[in-house]
């Protein structure tokens, strides 16, 4: 039995551009201005990894307190910018179909609770669904920990899991976890970038994945 492990932001929920903008503002306020496209290309990493990478590039190392402060500010700005979460096309229907057909599936996200709760609510997933977040593992994407933790909690084999994500980090982490992956363009990466990072298949969004699910042997 094949199983699906979903990323959340940009894969199931349309949050990437609000995240980019909130990070850009939080970092600029902390004296670390950085271009939007460089942030976009790092969405999907953990906030901690991301903040440290930016600081390193700016040549100004941050204390742990500073890095945490920037992350908190990002969270506040994000909730302010995007009080309502909108599922990406086909996401709610695909998750419902997987439930009805008994296909094991879960979510593995670099986000944390309570930040991700509004997204889970908008998707209408039941409380028993396997959701692994940044707080559950030691290391975030592109480390494989989130996907491996999700796979273990679903009780399926590594070889049976497909990772579904919109970011290069999802696809790289999937390869580290020895899992095949599906790239979705709904986070703003182009098809070629997703294929170059190792995607087994690329679709526009969750809706197209749903219509093409046979291609994965599901």
Q: Which of 6, 50, 78, 189 binds a second copy (CB under 8 A)?
A: 189
Contact between residue 159 and residue 142 where contact means Cβ atoms under 8 Å apart = no
> Which sequence positions are flagged as catalytic?
7, 9
Rule CB under 8 A: is residue 76 a binding residue for a second copy? no
- In sequence order, what DSSP letters do the residues of 32-89 get, joined into one string? ----HHHHHTTBTB-HHHHHHHHHHHTT----HHHHHHHHHHHHHHHHHH-SS--BPT
Comparing CB distances to a second copy, the nearer of 86 and 113 is 86
Q: Which stretch binds a second copy (CB under 8 A): 66-74, 80-88, 108-116, 156-164?
A: 80-88
Comparing CB distances to a second copy, the nearer of 1 and 76 is 76
Site for a second copy in 39-68 (CB under 8 A): 39-41
Angle at 137 between CA 96 and CA 175, to 5 degrees: 70
Q: Which residue has the tokens 């809706």?
A: 207
Comparing CB distances to a second copy, the nearer of 30 and 150 is 30
Q: Which of 3, 8, 11, 14 binds a second copy (CB under 8 A)?
A: 14
Quote helix, strand, coil % in the chain, to nearest 5: 50, 15, 35
Q: Which of 61, 124, 190, 215 binds a second copy (CB under 8 A)?
A: 190
Smallest separation (angstroms) from a second copy to the CB of 137:
27
């Amino acid at each position: 039995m094949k199983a699906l492990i979903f990323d959340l932001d940009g894969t199931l929920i349309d949050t990437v551009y609000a995240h980019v903008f909130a990070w850009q503002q939080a970092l600029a306020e902390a004296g670390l201005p950085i271009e939007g496209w460089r942030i976009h290309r790092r969405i999907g990493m953990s906030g901690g990894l991301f903040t440290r990478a930016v600081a390193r590039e700016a040549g100004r190392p941050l204390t742990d307190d500073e890095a945490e402060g920037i992350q908190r500010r990002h969270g506040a700005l994000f909730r302010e910018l995007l009080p309502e979460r909108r599922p990406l096309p086909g996401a709610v229907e695909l998750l419902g179909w997987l439930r009805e057909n008994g296909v094991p599936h879960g979510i593995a996200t670099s986000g944390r609770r309570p930040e991700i709760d509004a997204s889970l609510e908008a998707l209408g997933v039941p409380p028993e669904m396997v959701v692994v977040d940044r707080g559950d593992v030691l290391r975030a994407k592109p480390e494989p920990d989130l996907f491996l933790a999700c796979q273990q909690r679903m009780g399926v084999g590594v070889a049976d899991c497909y990772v579904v994500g919109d970011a290069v980090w999802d696809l790289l982490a999937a390869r580290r976890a020895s899992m095949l992956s599906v790239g979705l363009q709904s986070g703003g990466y182009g098809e070629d970038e997703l294929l170059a990072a190792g995607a087994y298949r690329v679709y526009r969004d969750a809706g197209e994945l749903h219509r093409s699910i046979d291609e994965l042997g599901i």
